[in-house]
Amino acid sequence: MTRKRSTKTVDRNPAGWPLAEYDRGYPGVQKCRSVLDRAAKGLLPCDELTVWRVRTSTRGLVATGYFCDQHLPQQAP
């Protein structure tokens, strides 16, 4: 059995996380990642400022998610 090693890094930017020049919607800020969860529940998308960036690294793959204060996962910080 192989053990997967995972690293999680959480950063906070009070001004919000800007979009990169190649992202759709530039200039602007990242959208809260709770959009899919809220859509599945029939709720409107979150329009709060995304102040948290959560990066999860597992075996060389990095996943990045952006969250507002309200929707930051409990286990992140």
Q: How far is CA 34 from the centre of its chain?
A: 8
User: Cα angle at 10 between 61 and 46, to 5 degrees?
Assistant: 95
Residues 21, 52: Cα–Cα separation, whole Å: 20
- Give me 10's structure tokens: 């959480």
**Residue 51 in domain:** yes
**Residue 28 in domain:** yes
Is residue 77 scored above 60 in pLDDT? Answer: no
Q: Please state the domain count of the chain.
A: 1
**Residue 77 in domain:** no
Domain extent for 21: 6-67
**Residue 76 in domain:** no
Confidence of residue 52 (pLDDT cuts 50, 70, 90): very high
Three-class secondary structure of residue 36 per DSSP? helix
Residues 37, 56: Cα–Cα separation, whole Å: 19
The reported pTM is 0.76
Residue pLDDT, tens place only, 7-48: 889 999 999 988 878 777 777 888 888 877 788 888 888 888
